[in-house]
Each structure stands twice: as structure tokens, then as C-alpha cells.
Amino acid sequence: MTTDPFAAFLKRKNVLVASIGHRPGRRPATIPEDGPEPVYVDLDDLDVSTAPAHEFSGLAVFARTMTDLHRAVAASGLLRPVQRCLIVITEMTKTNRPTQVRLPSYWTAQSLRKLQIRLDDPHRWSCEFACGQPLSPTDFIRAVLASTTESPRPMVPRIALHGPGSGHWGPGAPSNPVAPLPAEETPSTPFYDVVVHTAAPEAVSSDERVSFVQVRDPRPDRRGIFGPSGDPVHDTADAGIIPPIDEYTVNRMGFDNRPKEHDADLVYGDHTWQVHFTDGKRRRLDVSGAVTDYDVEQLRELRSLRVDWSSHPGSVAGLRAVAGLACAGVPLVSVGASPVWAASLAGDLLSRMDMYDSEDLADGLRREAHAVALSRSSLREHSTTAHAARLRAAIGLPPEEAPTVSVLLCTMRPDFIESAMRQIAAQDHPRIEVVLVLHGLDRDAPAVKQAVADCPLPVTVVEVEGDRIFGEALNHGATAASGDFITKFDDDDWYSPRHVSDLVASARYSGAVLVGCAAELIYLEEFDLTVQRFGGRSERRSRHVAGGTLLVRRSDFRELGGYRRLRTAEDRELLSAVADSGGTIYRMHGTGYVLARRASGHTWNRPSASFLKNAERQLRGINLGDFVSRDDIEAAL
Amino acid sequence: MSTTAPPPAQLRIPRNDHGILAPPELGSWTPEKLVSVVIPAYGSQDKLDVTLAALAAQTYPAELLEVIVVDDQSDPELRLSLPCPDSTKIVRVSGAEWGSANAVHIGVQAASGDVILRLDADILTSHRHVEAHARWHHLCDYLAVIGRIAFADITADRLPPDRVRSAVAQGRAETLFEGLDINPSWEYAMVEKYDRLKKLDDRAWHVANGATISFSRRLYDACGGMNPSMILGGDTEFGYRAAQAGGVFVPDGEAVAWHLGLSQMKSRREEGRRYREPFFANTVPMMRHLREASDIVWEVPYVEVVIDVHDASFENVAATAATMLTGSVTDIGIQLVGPWSRLTDDRRSPLDDPYLDLRLVAETFRADPRVRLVETPGAAPAAAPFRLTMPAGMLAAPNAVAELIGVANRQRSGQVNCAVPGFEALAAVTLERTAALARAHHVRSADEDLEDVVDEVWGVWWEDGSEWFGTELPDAEESQSAHPAYYAQIEDLKQALAKQRKRADWWKEHAGKKERAAEKWRRTAKRLEGEAAKASKPLWRALAGKVRSRLKRMRRG
């Protein structure tokens, strides 16, 4: 086809076409008929022994989605450097569309002569590089992944992947994992701690400082007469048999919390799960069970996805797909009860799926709470982070410690200290310290003494005179904090016990400098009413989050200059400092936070009635805060 | 009919969503309630005979079925002939009034059942027709049940009553119409379209008709019954009021019946519509299109505004009432609630009158037909679909009423409470939906808060009223939309725009489909072309190609 924008690139002599994520045997691009035939490889099949050894004038990478491109990083290390590279994503999502392409700033990459990005149909995105010096294909791929990985992936242990399909066991960028070197090239210091391999490991490093972990190629055996045989599940409850979910691309980003009407079914057919939509459309998930960001984007309008377990013969790939969909916050429900072969999925994930029917999720808040809970379970058990933890254990490394979080609680009202401290103590994040800033209160006041004594967490008390402005008081607290992250609690609001751990998790998968949530739920005491606002605007990058929810790295907080010395709007100023310095703000789900609007005695003098504006839902006679702080929002609906 | 003991807790149906009702299967339950079938009739003895013959073959127990034929002064007088149900009686209209609405009303007065089934005198019912209607009324006493009617182009002379009776009794009534054209009624098409009326909220009454509808005696009395002055369209108007009295409209597809011949609605449709319009305009304010762009004063207001004038100054009352009377919704009625009976004509010192302000208010509005002076407001408006309560001294923007009703409809609420800065009460303004209020009053038990019950049956919504209400009028210069004339224009434009958008979307969608289809065709053509080319390639060349590529691969390996 002459209109193919890639024809000129592919017509060159000696081009290598590498694809990933496409169905085997299906070529992602039209190859010009009159040109020389390029060499094809599937990056999922590549290993040290099968990688093409000679040099190519150009490399074209056809990845189906960004999720697939992330998986291509390791295998791309087996390819020779090239001067020209074309990277095509045939199914690009809105949430992961790059806003930057960033090569490493070495002199070789500074030979960049041409960089062209185009979006030539609603979903096909491509980027063409031409350099004066040959660069490693990994550099080109990472350049495209740069904007979806603002925060680094865990670097320990350093993983090498070997054998066909091993990429599924370590999707990663920017620096981890890698392809192992051939045994004869083993350097004095190995580049990696562990080789995760699907094929025999003889071909690679024989260094005894390196551990070897054997895994299965998650793609079904293609040689069977009856088509792919699937990878039958053994009687195990071990989550480790499921290849990890790439939570950096498959996550809740883009979740829409407005009530939805239509459901779809997840049914087995043609050797894999298929989504059957009500309008007759179908979407086939990859046979390996790797759910992609694009799959997820197609499911955002669903009220629920009904998993028809009984249609599935039972395979690891089948479980992996369900774990991936759960991680992305797709509201899954079981048709009937989940089967025994699903036992290696997180237990609470299964019991939640079995608990609800599609009809139950007509309530938008319940649907969201369910989706968030599924996603939490899957992140905890099935993410690359969980997989890295399992690998550490397998090779004898100590477990990775969770980041430390300092919770700033600044108050001038002794009546609220007790309940605020109790809510901080109830947080399920493992490493929290409290910085209690007493704004004009005496540390010897009985309410303060009691609350500090009752708190099982380390508490640092900071006294600030009452006539100092609020922003200044907060800065004093931040100076006394020692955590990796700082987050702020307001003394009279309600927080779910998972609030801090959710913030830390979303900081990780979003890569944002500052995360928080909007005050989507507000309890108006005068009206005895909880209102819900801002439908459809959470789980995305945003300019605004509520002041009582923001979480930021302590180092970033210091570089941003902390809070400005203002009487009001100190939160807004901090947010604009983030935006003005080029950082991203991420707004996570708002079901774990309820803003209080008390009948009187509030420092913020806006009439409560204005909170009724733009309310999407009103819960009469219910203080949702009480339910949220018990992590039981669904009981109120 | 009222009982002295408190009635058992009533089911609380939200809006018109009757999905929570689970009626028994036909033939599998034991009826208890007496059903009175009321049939207004004028002439056409032969059709009446068919109707009665079919009623004589019902599955509903004969001892629980009475039939009242109301002869609307036919000449010759109608008579009862066999077969007909055992307890069938004929009542003759004697007064000056006439028409079917009047006849139904007389029939209901003569009926003794808890359940009234109103049928036309040219309806042939299936054998479970009465049973299907009646099963619902055993569940709940504020329902109106609509049967499923079809029009059959047949005359009574082809339907001998004995044959009708036996065919109906055997459950084979449809065999009587074999080979004939049967047209379903438009009402039933509407039923199918709107999920059995469950999603029609406040509009379900549109399907009310006289051919086959049943309701409880209580609902009939609560809404005031049929209006004898409606010569045509009385059933629709009655349905509208039944809805305002809290009635829920339930269609029953198994309450099958056939109308003998095409209806007048069909044969002289346009004339019928023209006749009904002014009557509906006066009595059914929810038919908004009939009151468009006119300042005519109609009988039933769209919104009843209640202002308490106790202890209020004349200026405050006058200002509040005046802003309401000059808003963009012109068909409102105002009730000024005060101790009017204390105003006497006795000699007094005019300027030192203790009721001076009250007297000035009374004089100001004495001649305006939209304003009424009342001592106490009713529990719910009689027929207006909304009631708005506001304090004296509050001013409203011209668009306030329209906006507030917009909120109620968008949020599907039975009541909207507005908080307004500067007023002591939290809900300074409340807009109540009559249908919700009436149902709440009916199902509420003595110790329950009315607003909680309204919330249960229809939903209560809170709104910030500061944009529409206050102690000062919004500056007209500042906000153009506050001008009633501009506001109406803007609303019209908005509606037109929304319509155009919808059309554009439709076109976009369909154009897209066409394009996709074209693309598919192109692809298929391309594939076929390729296959054709392959097929025409000589065998030796194909073989050579294969060998070449294998050699290439070996070299690489």
C-alpha cells in the first residue's frame, strides 16, 4: 500500500523488523512489494542463541501497545546498535501517550539528526529516529518509555531474562531488567543478581555469584495439533506461578467513576479469554494472559465485566489476565463462584469478585470502591513489585523495606487530636511516624498528652506559637519530619485506613511528584448530608488535589521551598510550585477521604451551601466519613 | 372508605418504578377483593352484549365480581341480556350532566368494590383479564393498572354472545378474530418502549385511557374522581390527577382485551386532538406545550407558591409575590397564608389597625386571579404538580422557578431544598413534587418524618439557592439571563442547540458506520486481488521463491 507511512523506512536495504505483542504469524505492517524483504523477529522469542548476529542499517519495532513495548526492553539488549530506528505502537492509549521522547544525554545520542513523531490514525503512534552514531536499540525504546516511567522501577535485585517468553517475567524500564550476556563474555562483575530463565541456562553466565530461577514461558505451546494447549494450573495457591502484572502501564489510571450502564462478559474462546460486549463487539486478550493498557482503555465504560469461569479450561494465562484486569481497576464480578483452579489469585480478590453481581455495581460509589479494592489486592500479590519481593526471597536477599512516611498533623483544636491520631494509627502502611504540630497548644495539655501516650507510632511533637501563620507551622513540622515522604492530615477529616498506602502506591505507578485526591466526598454537618462531587475526574494527572491529602517526597518538598507563608491557600501555592517546576500532580481515587464541613468553628469561612453546587449525589442522613474511616464505605450504600 | 385501625405498612414504590412488586402468577393465587367493573355505555346494545358475554367467562371468582353498566341516557334504553355475570346491574344517568366521565363517576358511586375496573362498552376481554388487573391491587392500594388493548376491525354482528362466552371461557378468545387485522394501541407501544413505564417517573400517566384501567377505590377518591365536565379526554385528565395523588401506573401485558372496531381516536384523530387541547391546557399543566408562550391564566397552575404572611410586613409580602408573578414561569398560583378571617369591616382607626399590613396585602392582590388568600395550606396541592414554599421578604430571580424544576427533573427528585444565605431556616425554599408528597402522606406511619418518607419514595435533593433567591434582586445588567424575556430566549436556543447536536451525533455515527463498511470492502477487494495474483503465479516461480528464502535463512543461521 503506497499510503503506508512506514514504506520509506522499510524499503531500505537490510532492515530488521522486530515485533512484540502481535499475534504470531500476523505482520503488523504492510511491507512494500518492490523492496527487499526485511528480516523478522518476534522479541518475545529472542534469546542469546537466536538473536541475529549481524548488523542492520535500520530497526523497526512494532509493538502492539505501550505495555508490550515495556516488555521489549530486555530482549532489545540482544540486538546490535543501529543508526536508524522506527518505533510504532499500533494501539496507543490516551493515558500513556508520550509527552516527551528522551534519549540519554551522552555524546553518541547527541548525534541525533531527526526525530519525528506522528499519530496517523486515532490509535497508531510512531516515532522515527536517525542518528549519526549507532545507538543501542534499548536506548531508543527507553526514550519512548520515558514519560510513562517518571519514577524509577525497583532496581534490586537486578534481573536478567533468558529464553523465549521470559520478557513476561520482567517487564521493565528504564534500567531493569537486561538480557544476559553469552557465557564466554561474562565480565568479572556480573551485571545482574539473578537470571530468570525459561530455556536451559547453559548458554549464559556461569558465574556462581548469579542465582538462577527457572520459570515457564507463559505463552501456550504452539506445537500442539489441537492448537495452543494452555498451561494447566496445578493444585497450588502460590501466586508465584503467575507472571507479574506490569503495574506501571496496567493500573487504575483513566478509571471513570461515574455510574455506568453496560456490562460485558469475559468468556473463553479461541484459546484465550475474550471480552464479549453487549453490542456484539469482541476483544481478544493475548494468549499469554498479558493484559495491556489498550485492553483496559477499551473496558473503562463498563459497569462490570462478568468473568465466566466455567467456560475456561483453567490455565496460568487465564489467571494472569484476571489479575491484570483487577490491577487496572476493571470492575470484575464472577459468574457463579470462582473455581478451585483460581486459588493462586489473591484470596480477597476472589472473594470480592464472588460477592457482587453486575446489578450491585449500578451504584457508582460501590463500583468504584470494589474496583479500588480489586486493584489493591492485585498490586499487593501480582505486580512486578510483588514479583521482585519474591525473587529477593528466593535468592536470599532481605525483603525491601517500604518507604517511610511522615504524617503532618497540625492542629489548634484539642478536641480533634484524639480522633485524628487514632485515624493515623489505623493506617495499614507499615512505616509511619507522626509529626504533631501544636499550633498554639501546649504539649502538656491533657488531650495532647493522652493522644501521644495512646499512639503506638513514633510521635514527634512540635510547638508553634498560635500567632504564627499556618503555612509556617506546617514548615516547622516538615523540618522535624524524617520520612521518605511527607503527607498532611487535616484534624477534622476522615481517612480510610488504606489512605497512606494507596497514596504511596499511586505515587509509584503514576510517577508523579505529588499525589493526593480531590475532596469528592464532603460531609456537611448542618445538613446531615454527604455529597459527592467531581465525577469522572479522579485517577488522572491533574492540577488540583485536596490540601488534606497531598503526599510528596520530603526531598522534593524541600526543593519546592515548602509551604509559602500565607494565611490561606498555602496548599494551592504548593501545588502550583509543583506544576511550575515541571512536575506532575496525580489525583488518585477519592473514596478514602471525606472532607468535613462542620456546623461552626471552622477556619475556612465558606458557607456550606456552596458545597451543594455541582453535587452529583447526596447521601441523606449519612456521614460517609464514619464508614470510610472503618474502611467500610460499601456498608453505607 | 377509611378504616379506624392503622393500615398495615404500605410498600414504598420509588417514583414509577414498580419493579419491587411481585404479583402472583395468573391462576395460582386466591383473590379476596371485590372488583367492580364499571362500564359507561351509550347506545350500541350489540357491543355491550359482547362485552358482558366475555365478562361472564372470567376466571375471577363470580362472588367477587360485580358489573355496573351505566346507561348514559341511551335511546332506546339499554338492557341486560344473557350471558352476563351474575351480579350485573344497570344504572341510568338521570341528571343534566352527560358524557362518559360523568357516567363513570356515577358508576363508581354505585359500586361497592375496593377495586374499580373501568372498561368501555365495546371491549372484549380475555378470560384472565379481571384476574390480571386484580392481582396488583391485592399488593398495594395506590396503583392504576393498564390492560393491553388491541383494535380489531370487526362488528358485533359477527360475534354471537354465546360463542364469545364459550371461546373466552376456554381461553381462546383470539380465535374469534382469526384472519383479521389487529392493531396494538399506541399506549402499549409506549409501555414497551419505557421498560414497562418503570423509568417514566412523573410521566407514566400519559398511558391512562378508558378502555381498560383499574384502580383502588381509595386512589379514585383521593384524586377527586372523574371530572364530569371533560367530555373528551377525561380519562387522561383523571390519570394525571391520579398520578398527582401518588398513584403508580403499572401495565399488565396479560390483561389482554380487544376493542371492537377502530377507535374514534383513529378515525377522526385530528379533530379529536383539536377538541381536547384547550381542555387539557386548562387542567393538565404538565402538558407544557399547550401553554407555550402565552400569559393566559389557566385553571390549574403549574406551580403553587405558598408564602406565609403571618407577622410579615406588607412590603415584604408584596415584593416576594411580585417577583414570583413576573418570573419566566407565568402559570403559577400563589397562596398567601394568613389569619384573613380576622379582617373585619368593623369601625377602626385605619392607621392604627393591628392588622394593617395584612389588610394592605389583601387589597393589593384582591383582583389578581392567580393569588388566593388562605388560612392554612393543604397537605398537598390538589392538581398542580409542584408546590414551592418560600418566606415573605425573599426575592426570586425570574428564572428561579424554571431552574428549580429543572433540578428536580434532572435529579429525579420529589423535593428540592434550597439553602439561601441570609435566611434562618436551613431549607429556606422548598420545591415539592405533588405526586411524591401525596404518596409520602399516604404511606407514612404516624411517627415518621414526612421528608424522610418523601426521600424514600422519590428522593430529596439539596441545592445552593443563592443564585436564584436572596434578599436583593440580581442586577439585571450584570446577568442577562435574569431577564425573563432573555431567559426564555436563551432556554429556547439551548434546546434548539441540543437538538442539533443530537442530530449531528446521529449523522456522525452513521457516516462512521458507512466509512467502516467501505473500508472493509476495500480490504476484501485488496485481499481477493492478492489471492488472484498468487493464483496466477506459475508453479515453478512459487517453488523457486520458497527455495530462495530457505537458502537465505540458512545463510543467516
* Contact call for A527 and B452, based on CB within 8 A: no
Closest among B60, B65, B63, B64 to B27, alpha carbons compared: B60
- Cβ neighbors of A41 (< 8 A, separation 6 or more) are A16, A17, A18, A19, A50, A51, A52
| Predicted local distance difference test score (pLDDT) of residue A578 | 93
Q: Is the CB of A37 inside 8 Å of chain B's CB atoms? A: yes
Q: Which residues of A touch B526 (CB under 8 A)?
A: 1
At residue A194, does pLDDT exceed 60? Answer: yes
pLDDT tens for residues A259-302?
A: 999 999 999 988 899 999 999 999 999 999 999 999 999 999 99
Q: B115: which 3 cell numbers?
A: 377495586
Asked if B127 and B168 touch (Cβ cutoff 8 Å), the reply is: yes
Q: Which residues of A touch B460 (CB under 8 A)?
A: 620
Nearest chain B residue to A39 by CA: give it: B553
d(CA B376, CA B381): 12
| Predicted local distance difference test score (pLDDT) of residue B215 | 96
Q: A169: which 3 cell numbers?
A: 517475567
Please tell me which of A182-186, A598-602, B66-70 the model is most confident about, judged by mean pLDDT.
B66-70
CB atoms within 10 A of CB A65: 28
d(CA A308, CA A267): 6
Interstrand relation of B395-396 and B469-470 (parallel, antiparallel or unpaired): antiparallel
* Contact call for A529 and B464, based on CB within 8 A: no
Q: What is the mean pLDDT of chain A?
A: 89
* Contact call for B426 and A526, based on CB within 8 A: yes
Measured CA angle at A493 (ends A490, A494), to 5 deg: 125
Is residue A211 exposed (0-12), middle (13-18) or buried (19+ Cβ within 10 Å)? middle
Asked if A172 and A73 touch (Cβ cutoff 8 Å), the reply is: yes
Asked if B143 and B215 touch (Cβ cutoff 8 Å), the reply is: yes
Cα A45 from chain centre: 26
CB atoms within 10 A of CB B203: 16
Nearest chain A residue to B465 by CA: give it: A609
Q: A423: which 3 cell numbers?
A: 485515624
* Contact call for A527 and B464, based on CB within 8 A: no
ipTM for the whole complex: 0.84
* Contact call for A610 and B455, based on CB within 8 A: no
Nearest-Cα distance to chain A for B187, in Å, is 27
d(CA A289, CA A271): 11
CB atoms within 10 A of CB A425: 17
d(CA A135, CA A145): 16
| Predicted local distance difference test score (pLDDT) of residue B428 | 92
CA-to-CA separations, A628 to A57, A259, A328, A636, in angstroms, rounded: 59, 20, 22, 9
* Contact call for B426 and A612, based on CB within 8 A: no
Q: Is the CB of A620 inside 8 Å of chain B's CB atoms? A: yes
At residue B475, does pLDDT exceed 80? Answer: no
Nearest-Cα distance to chain A for B5, in Å, is 31
pLDDT tens for residues A13-44?
A: 889 999 999 887 777 666 666 777 788 889 98
Confidence grade of residue A622 (pLDDT, cut at 50, 70, 90): very high
A contact residues 510-549, partner B, Cβ 8 Å cutoff:
526-527, 529, 531
| Predicted local distance difference test score (pLDDT) of residue A604 | 42
**Who has greater pLDDT, A527 or A330?**
A330
| Predicted local distance difference test score (pLDDT) of residue A32 | 64
The mean pLDDT value for A487-497 works out to 96
Closest among A336, A335, A344, A354 to A289, alpha carbons compared: A344
Asked if A458 and A434 touch (Cβ cutoff 8 Å), the reply is: yes
* Contact call for B419 and A527, based on CB within 8 A: yes
At residue A485, does pLDDT exceed 70? Answer: yes
| Predicted local distance difference test score (pLDDT) of residue A313 | 87
Asked if B112 and B36 touch (Cβ cutoff 8 Å), the reply is: yes
- A188 three-class SS: coil
At residue B456, does pLDDT exceed 50? Answer: yes
pLDDT tens for residues B508-533?
A: 666 655 566 566 666 666 666 666 55
The mean pLDDT value for A633-637 works out to 92
Nearest-Cα distance to chain A for B7, in Å, is 27
Nearest-Cα distance to chain A for B554, in Å, is 12
Closest among A152, A162, A98 to A384, alpha carbons compared: A152
Test the A interface: residue of B17, B423, B457, B464 with most A CBs within 10 Å: B464
Nearest-Cα distance to chain A for B460, in Å, is 8
| Predicted local distance difference test score (pLDDT) of residue A495 | 98
Q: Which residues of A touch B468 (CB under 8 A)?
A: none
> Which of B421, B455, B462 has the CB atom closest to A612's CB atom?
B462
Stretch among A425-439, A488-502, A526-540 having the lowest mean pLDDT:
A526-540
Own/partner pairs, B190-193, CB within 8 angstroms, 24+ separation: B191/B146, B191/B148, B191/B251, B191/B253
Q: Is the CB of A241 inside 8 Å of chain B's CB atoms? A: no
> pTM of this prediction?
0.85
Is residue A617 exposed (0-12), middle (13-18) or buried (19+ Cβ within 10 Å)? middle
* Contact call for A609 and B465, based on CB within 8 A: yes
Measured CA angle at A205 (ends A201, A211), to 5 deg: 75
- B225 three-class SS: coil
E-only strand ranges, B365-405: 371-374, 386-391, 395-396
Which strands, in side-by-side order, build the sheet including A432-439? A459-464, A432-439, A405-411, A485-489, A551-553, A514-517, A585-588, A540-541
Nearest chain A residue to B452 by CA: give it: A620
For cell 479522579, the residue is A538
Cα B467 from chain centre: 31
Q: What is the mean pLDDT of chain B?
A: 86
CA-to-CA separations, B489 to B75, B399, B418, B482, in angstroms, rounded: 55, 12, 26, 11
Closest among B147, B162, B130 to B49, alpha carbons compared: B162
In one-letter notation, the amino acid at residue B312 is A
Test the B interface: residue of A532, A611, A612, A619 with most B CBs within 10 Å: A612
E-only strand ranges, B303-349: 303-308, 332-337
pLDDT tens for residues A217-234?
A: 888 765 444 444 456 666
Residues of chain B in Cβ contact (below 8 Å) with chain A = 419-421, 426, 452, 455, 460-466, 526, 549, 556
Nearest chain B residue to A526 by CA: give it: B426
pLDDT tens for residues A381-429?
A: 999 989 988 988 988 888 888 999 999 999 999 999 999 999 999 999 9
Q: At what angle do helices A316-327 and A347-355 cross, to 10 degrees?
A: 80
Confidence grade of residue B372 (pLDDT, cut at 50, 70, 90): very high
At residue B481, does pLDDT exceed 70? Answer: no
pLDDT tens for residues A418-442?
A: 999 999 999 999 999 999 999 999 9
Q: Is the CB of A52 inside 8 Å of chain B's CB atoms? A: yes
pLDDT tens for residues A335-373?
A: 989 998 999 999 999 999 999 999 999 999 999 999 999
Nearest chain A residue to B462 by CA: give it: A612
Size of interface A-B (CB pairs under 8 A): 35
At residue B293, does pLDDT exceed 90? Answer: no
Nearest-Cα distance to chain B for A367, in Å, is 20
* Contact call for A612 and B420, based on CB within 8 A: no
* Contact call for B461 and A618, based on CB within 8 A: yes
At residue A178, does pLDDT exceed 80? Answer: no
> Which of B460, B464, B556 has the CB atom closest to A612's CB atom?
B464
* Contact call for A621 and B452, based on CB within 8 A: yes
Confidence grade of residue B222 (pLDDT, cut at 50, 70, 90): very high
Nearest-Cα distance to chain A for B348, in Å, is 46
* Contact call for B462 and A621, based on CB within 8 A: no
Q: Calculate what percentage of chain A has a pLDDT beyond 70.
A: 92
**Quick one: which H or E segment has residue B48?**
helix B45-55
The mean pLDDT value for A190-216 works out to 81
- Cβ neighbors of B304 (< 8 A, separation 6 or more) are B332, B333, B334, B335, B381, B384, B386, B387, B388
At residue A62, does pLDDT exceed 60? Answer: yes
| Predicted local distance difference test score (pLDDT) of residue A24 | 75
CB atoms within 10 A of CB B516: 10
Q: Which residues of B touch A615 (CB under 8 A)?
A: 462
> Which of B452, B526, B556 has the CB atom closest to A52's CB atom?
B556
| Predicted local distance difference test score (pLDDT) of residue A223 | 47
At residue B295, does pLDDT exceed 90? Answer: no
d(CA A355, CA B553): 55
